[in-house]
Structure 1
Amino acid sequence: MERIEHGSEIIWYDPECFDAFNRDFFEIDYWREQDAIRGKAVGRNTTWFVEDEVCHKVLRHYYRGGMIGRVMEDTFLHVAESKSRAMAEFTVLAKLHRRGLPVPRPCAARMVRSNLVYRADIILTRIDNSRDLVAILQERALEKAEWHHVGKTIRQFHDAGLYHADLNSHNILLDDSGKSWLIDFDKCHFRQTGSWARENMERLLRSFRKELNLHPEFNWKEADWRALLSGYRAS
């Protein structure tokens, strides 16, 4: 991991992810000028998909949620560099990637300080040919073996001590080969064994039930959850 400090800007980056790193990589206008934008995902905020000489990447700016987000949309109170949102997520992802767990590879993280606050961005590798479970389940049901594999994958993260702060059906991807991936590790961290793993799974179950109520066509049923748990417990 390399580090750059330029005025109020601090950047961490993995040189293996780039031919030659450029601080402008965090600016969407740079990618627009290179005609390198390959799409975007629009939810609460916009995540950009870009492409360079090495691979497809994801560029994400950090925003606040909840009521405070209406006042401090994308600013956070200043903290130590390693505890900033981008650097903390970069660190967690780097550890998981080194362990061979199915996560996006962290490429670069940035914090830009301004008085008592900072803004943050992160660049990750994109999981090609993949979709989240919500998108898939609106088109088709998953086979029992697929649910089993999803459960097994989640168990691998829990066995590694990873607490996923937002484990939900949008943050689990399946690629064309049937491999499961987890994404969105903002505010995630490692913990000792405890009841948090069960609470994590309960959160995921609530997510499936919520999506079932939101979408007229959503191919999920309680038996699918039991199949997922079978894979989780068999690991």
Structure 2
Amino acid sequence: MQVTNHDNQVCWYADQLIGDPHPHLFDSQWWQAQKAVVGSSQGRGVTWFVKLDGRHLVLRHYYRGGMVGKVVRDRFWFEGVESSRAMAEFALLDTLCAKGLPVPRPYAARMSKRGPFYRADILIERIRGSKDLVGLLKTGSLDATVWQRIGQTLRQFHDAGVYHADLNSHNILLDRDGKVWVIDFDKGAIREPGSWQQTNLERLLRSFNKEALLHTSFYWVPGDWQALMAGYEGRI
């Protein structure tokens, strides 16, 4: 990993993935000037889809959620470089990739400090040709074998001690080959086995039920969860 530190900016760059490490990689306007923006999505802020040396990447700025986020949109209290949001997620993704788990590869992370606060950005691999479960379920149902495969994948993460802070139906993807991916590991961690694993699953179930209420067409039934759990528990 290459590390740079200047102008109160600490940047990490993955070895052999970034040919020209520079803070402009975290600037959406720079990408636009290079005509390298290939798309975007809107959440708390804009997430940019960009292309670098033939690789498709995601540039994401970190924003606060909840009531605090309405007042302090993107500033976080500084408690050390490695514990900053971008660097912590970069390090976790790097560890999970090394374990062979299906997560995006991290390319770069930045922490910009000003006074006692910092802002953060991360650049990660984009899973080409993938769709999240919400997008898929708004157009049609998924076979039981797919739900079982999702359950098996989640069990792999839990067996590896991977805690996902926001496991929901938007953060599970299927690619063109039917491979299951998990994304968005902000505030994630490696933990010892515990009740958090069941809490993770309960959060995911609530997410499916919530989405079913939000959309007039959402092909989700209780039997889908039973198939997922059969895969998770190895009952197939």
TM-score > 0.5, shorter chain as reference:
yes
Distance 1:214 1:174 in 2: 21
CA distance in structure 2 between the aligned counterparts of 1:209 and 1:198, rounded to whole angstroms: 17
Greater shift after overlay, 91-100 or 10-19? 10-19
2-side partners of 1:138 and 1:118: how far apart? 38
The residue aligned with 2:33 is: 33
Aligned to 2:2: 2
Alignment of 1:83-232 (within 5 A): 83-232=83-232
- Rounded Cα–Cα distance in structure 1 between residues aligned with 2:176 and 2:56: 16
SS of corresponding position for 1:177: coil
| Displacement after TM superposition at 1:17 (Å) | 1.9
Aligned to 2:51: 51
Asked if the contact 1:8/1:113 (under 8 Å) is kept, the reply is yes
Q: What CA distance in whole angstroms lies between the structure 2 residues aligned with 1:133 and 1:45?
A: 21
1:28 maps to a residue whose letter is S
1:233 maps to which residue? 233
Return 5+ residue gaps in structure 2 as ranges. Answer: none
CA distance in 2, matches of 1:134, 1:103: 18
Counterpart-to-counterpart distance in 2, 1:95 and 1:19? 22
Mapped to 1, the partners of 2:34 and 2:80 lie a distance apart of: 34
Q: 2:11 aligns to what?
A: 11
- Aligned partner of residue 148 in structure 1, secondary structure: helix
- The Cα offsets for residues 73-122 of structure 1, whole Å up to 9 and x where unpaired, read as 00001111100000000111000001110000011010000011000000
SS at match of 2:25: helix
- Structure 1 runs not aligned, ≥5 long: none
Deviation at 1:54, TM superposition (A): 4.2
**Partner SS state of residue 16, structure 1:** coil
Question: Is the Cα–Cα contact under 8 Å of residues 19 and 54 in structure 1 kept in the other structure?
Answer: no
Q: Distance in 1 between matches of 2:32 and 2:224?
A: 42
TM-score by length of 2: 0.98
Counterpart-to-counterpart distance in 2, 1:16 and 1:131: 28
Q: TM-score, normalised by structure 1?
A: 0.98
Q: CA RMSD in A?
A: 0.9
Amino acid at match of 1:166: D
The alignment partner of 1:11 has SS state of: strand
TM-aligned CA deviation for residue 16 of structure 1 = 2.1
Identity %: 50
Distance 1:62 1:171 in 2: 16
Q: Is the 8 A contact 1:167 1:200 kept in 2?
A: yes
Q: Distance in 2 between matches of 1:134 and 1:8?
A: 39
Superposition pairs of residues 63-74 of structure 1, within 5 angstroms: 63-74=63-74
Native 8 Å contact 1:17 1:54 kept in 2: no
TM-superposition CA deviations, 1:49-71 (whole Å, max 9, x none)? 00011410000000000111111
Letter in 1 for 2:89: E
Counterpart residue identity of residue 174, structure 2:
L
Distance in 1 (CA, whole Å) between partners of 2:103 and 2:28 is: 23
- Amino acid of the residue matched to residue 155 of structure 1? R
